[in-house]
Amino acid sequence: MSNAVTRQASAAPTAFAVETVRADFPILHQQVNGQPLVYLDNAATTQKPRAVIQALVDYYEQDNSNVHRGAHALADRATEKFEQARLAVASFINAPSSSQVLWSRGTTESINLVAASWGRTQLKAGDQVLVSAMEHHANIVPWQMVANAVGAEVVPIPVDDTGTIDLDAYKALLSDKVKMVAVGHVSNALGTINPIEAMIPLAHAAGAKVLIDGAQAVGHWAVDVQALDCDFYVFSGHKLFGPTGIGVLYGKAELLEAMPPYQGGGEMIETVSFDGTTFQGLPYKFEAGTPDIAGAIGLAAAINYLNKLDRAGAEAHEQALLAYALQKAEALGGIRLVGTAAHKTSVLSFLLDGAHPADVGTLLDQQGIAVRVGDHCAQPIMKQFGIPGTVRASFSFYNTFEDVDRLFAALEKAKVFLL
């Protein structure tokens, strides 16, 4: 787990060099609707440092070519950078081997790959897949699809009114029927940091495999898949300050080797004839067709950028922003916080009394403040809370205390206008 402090953290300014970091992100320095942009939609996608943008430009200007099997210099350079990116990801999450790092289009496709390949071969009628009640739809629907196909069942792990997984209820659900536990490292809708360090060994003791959706975690702190001992870990590049369209699936080697290919086509084959086809080994048997070469290279650039950053300082800064925002919310009044778990990332999900989230979002946008509104692809937990959705402000290390001040000044105006 992260070293994230609790909601009672100090809201005092930190020593983190936020203005220096902000200079690395060109998009932040613009006006929206005549106001300086305050970007608070980081849980949806993070902005990209100049190093990532330049890596994409350099690839397309200098090295653009398809990877592998090329007999010319451009193909060799593209292939080297592409495979170096895989090595960078493996090192970043402490995977035992880069062959256990598979490229996908994002977290959603990574989960679909495991559900379709592992799930359709390992699940049978009567089996169960446990998912938390606050999962993103991408970690519910793929499991429902395979469960419907084989006669298995997707069972929710209860979540209490603070947005915290009920560990006692989780333990009670574990049985020999449970074959997979699929849970988010962090809730995208609420910011809850789930106790996966406790959940993973409990699942293994019951004979189940574990998939962790790390989309909302990797941008906040270092992840070590070997220390976690999860069976699969998935995340998206665009939530890690990298490009859209590139994602990662890490899996334990013995599981990936036993899983059949998810898609068929070029690149993933060893031989093809009309008498039959044989497939390449890891990781290529899961990578049919031309990959997102530029996306992988851009993701490596994002990782290299983060590796040079004071990540502990960045995390402390984010937690201080959240603590400050909580203080401001208490002072504002007329606001309902949704997701009040003791351990959270820097996500503030809320409702203004008597105002629809969409209206609040529109008024904030008019003042240059970007937030997300709606159910955040987490309809089950919204239904549990009896609400249609929330306004979600999500902070990253390049946000400032002034950004929080701007948010709450705009909310004061919204209250006057809407109520």
pLDDT tens for 376-417 read 999 999 999 999 999 999 999 999 999 999 999 999 999 888
Beta-strand relationship, 247-251 and 269-273:
unpaired
CATH number of 53-307: 3.40.640.10
283 upstream amide cis, omega within 30 of 0: yes
Average pLDDT, integer, range 345-361: 96
Neighbouring C-beta atoms of residue 157, cutoff 10 Å = 23
Q: Which sign does the torsion angle of CA 65, 71, 76, 82 carry?
A: positive
Question: What are residue 268's DSSP bridge partners?
Answer: none
pLDDT at 258: 97
What would the DSSP string read from start to end of 115-163? Answer: IIIIIHHH--TT-EEEEETT--GGGTHHHHHHHHHHT-EEEEEPB-TTS
What tokens appear for 80 in the block? Answer: 């080297």
Are 408 and 328 spatial neighbours (Cβ–Cβ below 8 Å)? yes
Containing 390, the helix (H) or strand (E) segment is strand 390-394
According to DSSP, residue 21 is labeled: H
Cα 319 from Cα 397, distance rounded (Å): 9
Model pLDDT for residues 154-169, shown as the tens digit of each residue: 999 999 999 999 999 9
Alpha helices in 333-400 (DSSP H): 357-366, 379-385
Domain boundaries, the chain: 18-49+310-418, 53-307
Are 157 and 140 spatial neighbours (Cβ–Cβ below 8 Å)? no
> What average pLDDT does the chain have?
95
According to DSSP, residue 261 is labeled: P
Cα 378 from Cα 363, distance rounded (Å): 24
pLDDT at 70: 78
Q: Which of 196, 195, 186, 194 is nearest to 220 (CA)?
A: 186
Q: Which sign does the torsion angle of CA 215, 216, 218, 223 carry?
A: negative
Cα 53 from Cα 62, distance rounded (Å): 14
Cα 111 from Cα 102, distance rounded (Å): 12
Is 5 a residue whose pLDDT tops 50?
A: no
Confidence of residue 192 (pLDDT cuts 50, 70, 90): very high
Model pLDDT for residues 80-130, shown as the tens digit of each residue: 999 999 999 999 999 999 999 999 999 999 999 999 999 999 999 999 999
Cα 327 from Cα 336, distance rounded (Å): 13
Owner of token pair 């987490």: 378
Neighbouring C-beta atoms of residue 165, cutoff 10 Å = 24
Cα 214 from Cα 137, distance rounded (Å): 14
CA dihedral (303, 221, 255, 134) in degrees, to 10, reads: -120
Cα 124 from Cα 139, distance rounded (Å): 19
Average pLDDT, integer, range 55-59: 98
Q: What share of the chain in percent tops pLDDT 90?
A: 92
Average pLDDT, integer, range 169-182: 98
Average pLDDT, integer, range 299-319: 97
Cα 200 from Cα 230, distance rounded (Å): 6
pLDDT at 3: 38
Are 297 and 291 spatial neighbours (Cβ–Cβ below 8 Å)? no
Confidence of residue 11 (pLDDT cuts 50, 70, 90): low
pLDDT at 4: 39
Average pLDDT, integer, range 65-82: 93
Owner of token pair 């997984």: 165
Active site residues: 377
Q: Which fold has domain 18-49+310-418?
A: Aspartate Aminotransferase, domain 1 (3.90.1150)
pLDDT at 197: 98
pLDDT at 129: 98
